[in-house]
Amino acid sequence: MTHIIAPRTRKVRVLATLGPASSTPDMIRKLFMAGADAFRINMSHGSHEGHAKVIGHIREIEKELGRAMTVLVDLQGPKLRVGKFEGGSTILKTGKTFILDRDKTPGDDKRVNLPHPEIFAALEPDTRLLLDDGKLCLRVKTVTPDRIQTQVETGGKLSDNKGLNVPDVIVPMAALTEKDRKDLSFALEHGADWIALSFVQRAEDVAEARRLIGGKAALLAKIEKPSAIDRLDGILELSDAVMVARGDLGVELPPEQVPPLQKRIVEMARRMGRPVVVATQMLESMITAPTPTRAEVSDVATAMYDGADAVMLSAESAAGAWPVESVTMMDKIAHAVEADPAYADRIHFTETLPDPTTADALAEAAGRIADTVSASAVICFTTSGSTARRIARERPLVPMLVLTPKLSTARRMGLLWGAHAVRTKDIASFEEMIAKAKRMALRHGVAGAGDRVIMMAGVPFGTPGSTNVLHVVRLTGDELKSYSGE
């Protein structure tokens, strides 16, 4: 990579979903230049052939611009759906009895097929069933192995194959369906940097996905089931990052419960040093309008003030009429928030106590030293990315330049708060580390002549997770004269 793309001047990352409105090379390039730091491929839609082309476009633009780009592949997960109706739909009347059964005969206003036997085993009387994104609500009265009798609490129109949510119990279903396994193989084969696991209910779901991924990509757990909230510690422990997926979370919970849960998830992820993405309906009105509502802007800003690593665009960038404008708006909101003098205090409101390790102690110290000596940047050398994640957890207010010999590590940094990742040749000595850090700081514009920078690395070099060196140096401005290729 020979081009130099200047680091973003904001810390919060923007994750943009690609789709029919944004899958061409020209549009992907425009989204990146507008501020997209990572791109989401949604496996709920499209074909493997189409997704392969989009990933290929991203990699070509990566080469063209000389900047590592992040690809997140989002697995669909187990989608629960009712069967079909005579005529394609029916009307459920509030207060009436409605049956879900194993009979594949087309349904009517009294019954319909439910092709998920595991639900029959999991339900208990008085639990709720939500249909069509929560628009309709059924209350379970009796359950047998092949028949669920319910009372309609909120009626309305119900069409073929509409989704079913079971918020009150853990359904004994694997988080990975057969489709997900095929999609996962495709994603790993095409070099996805992150795999997003949908409808996680427990830590075992994450463990299974991690086993199948085998270290070939980082794993992000989507928190969209109430059952996951009670097991958040275990899920976070096994995940590389989490997403507050407010769409399904807002279906299975009353909407007023989602904001406090969002803050709780962000805070727990921050404490455990896991990148956290806030997603769904962030700029929803921009699917059809060139500007967002004031409430949407406030919502996005709140996630940033809470310290989220990234904010995500869904249909706004995938299928909306204003994809570039949506990314540009995210970028503008981030700049405005981070320019607020109160921002530093707000993002440090969550106390992130370091683990009792040398690496964590040095990462915490780096931010404080940067303030004390007015350093212009923190530069870290990392193989696995763990040093960068530790530094990012402390939310230093100076730029963070991440230098790594592994392109895969550089690519995964697109969801990490404040990280500007550069793939560079490995280092073999302390002196080489200092010289390279100085050159790269100047080349990438994170510091200038006379500035101090903080360097972090692990000795022996090239050993993942061995961060044990913190060094402060001053740049003279002459370092680039010795540059002979990185």
Instruction: Name the residues annotated as catalytic.
Output: 40, 81, 222, 280
CB 114 within 8 A of CB 70: no
C-alpha of 247 from chain center = 14
Give the C-alpha separation, 201 to 171, whole Å: 9
Comparing C-alpha atoms, which of 77, 304, 308 is closest to residue 196?
77
Give the C-alpha separation, 244 to 332, whole Å: 22
Joined together, the tokens standing for residue 229 give 């909230």
- Residue whose token pair is 């921050």: 270
CA angle, 261 then 284 then 327, to 5°:
100
Give the C-alpha separation, 7 to 406, whole Å: 19
- Amino acid, single-letter form, for residue 164: L
Joined together, the tokens standing for residue 462 give 């090239």
Give the C-alpha separation, 470 to 77, whole Å: 43
Give the C-alpha separation, 228 to 221, whole Å: 10
